[in-house]
Amino acid sequence: MLDYPAAPSDPVDDDADARTEAFLSRYLARIGHAGPVAPTLEGLAALQAAHIAAIPFEAIDALTGAGIEIDAGAVDAKLIGQRRGGYCFEQNSLFLRALLAIGFDAEGLLGRVRWMLPDDAPPTPRTHMVVRVRVGGRPWLADVGFGAAVPPQPLAMDSEEPQQTRHESYRVVRHGDAWQVAAAIEGAWRTLYRLDHLSPPPIDYELGNWYTSTHPDSHFRHQLIAARTTAEARYGLRDNRLTTRLIDGRVDRRYLTADEIERALSEIFLLPVRPHWRAAIERAATAEIAG
């Protein structure tokens, strides 16, 4: 199950405080954040930007059949200790625990991915985790786990106006008890996901992770996917196609050989490539991608 630090009002012992402090120190070192941390909007934005630049989005363990665990120990060992990346359940659970350790008022939310689907498409499973953070009573969406379209900064959840970021503009629109999050991409608003308004129990994350990492319909079981967003560019790898989107609007797409995919995973996505990934990499190099 997901584990979170005790709330500030809960009694904690010195050992728990020391463990939380050690975790936060390791996390901040992992994302390269050396400045002060405080539960402010500016602090949240700085942490979010540092996280998505340092820890890549990837689901290679689902592709290879190694499996993905989302308990705190497994996530810390993989994303911090092994300097791997992860997908939403790993990324956002790690980010949430770090925010709580700093003193933010934060909680997880769960939603349905609608990326690349028509508006009238049937409901999808609840397989995307994000973080809702309240700063000064105002709710903000913080997401560090949505691949190449991840919001690069916190998004206000109480405004339906377009919100410009260093990359795309985003919009958070309320639909009854849910929110719809969209990004302006290539001149059109494209829905990313729809979020439920209530924070779910941990078992719902476990179920979503199980589906996403093991179900035969999950695209993570069939495609090599990696992404990383910096202040200057977005990098996305889908099988053998590498896309680079610069903040000045330029877009570069290249098709890679197996050796080039392996090099991109290491040099662009900052991953410690494992020998047992090679079979998946070679399959990705022969993929035919539509669109």
Whether residue 32 is contained in a domain is answered as yes
pLDDT for the residue numbered 186: 84
Contact 164, 153 (CB under 8 A): no
**Over 60: is that where the pLDDT of 134 sits?**
yes
Nearest to 3 by CA among 54, 67, 74: 74
The order of strands in the sheet holding 233-238 is 57-58, 225-229, 233-238, 241-246, 251-255
Domains identified in the chain, total number: 1
Q: Which two three-digit tokens encode residue 112?
A: 């349905």
CA distance 261 to 268: 10
Task: Please give the residue that has the higher pLDDT: either 10 or 55.
Answer: 55
Tell me the per-residue pLDDT of 182-192, one tens digit each, with 9 for 90 and over. Answer: 999 988 999 99
Whether residue 44 is contained in a domain is answered as yes
Whether residue 254 is contained in a domain is answered as no
pLDDT for the residue numbered 55: 98
Whether residue 73 is contained in a domain is answered as yes
Q: Kindly name the residue from 128, 196, 217, 248 that is annotated as catalytic.
A: 128
Whether residue 250 is contained in a domain is answered as no
pLDDT for the residue numbered 16: 87
The residues that bridge with 225 in the sheet, in sequence order, are: 238
Q: How confident is the model at residue 239 (pLDDT cuts 50, 70, 90)?
A: very high
Percent above pLDDT 90 for the chain: 87
Contact 226, 65 (CB under 8 A): no
Question: 88 catalytic, yes or no?
Answer: yes
pLDDT for the residue numbered 120: 80
Question: 143 catalytic, yes or no?
Answer: yes
Range of the domain at 33: 14-205
Q: Kindly name the residue from 143, 175, 197, 239 that is annotated as catalytic.
A: 143
Whether residue 24 is contained in a domain is answered as yes
pLDDT for the residue numbered 187: 87
pLDDT for the residue numbered 121: 86
Whether residue 42 is contained in a domain is answered as yes
pLDDT for the residue numbered 11: 55
pLDDT for the residue numbered 13: 66
pLDDT for the residue numbered 116: 81
Weakest-pLDDT range from 100-104, 114-118, 135-139, 227-231: 114-118
Contact 226, 242 (CB under 8 A): no
**Over 90: is that where the pLDDT of 36 sits?**
no
Name the pTM for this structure. Answer: 0.93
pLDDT for the residue numbered 4: 54
Helix segments in the chain, DSSP class H = 14-31, 41-54, 60-64, 72-75, 88-102, 202-214, 258-267, 278-285
CATH number where 22 lies: 3.30.2140.20
CA distance 186 to 168: 9
Q: Kindly name the residue from 33, 51, 61, 88 that is annotated as catalytic.
A: 88
Whether residue 75 is contained in a domain is answered as yes
Contact 78, 174 (CB under 8 A): no
**Over 60: is that where the pLDDT of 7 sits?**
no
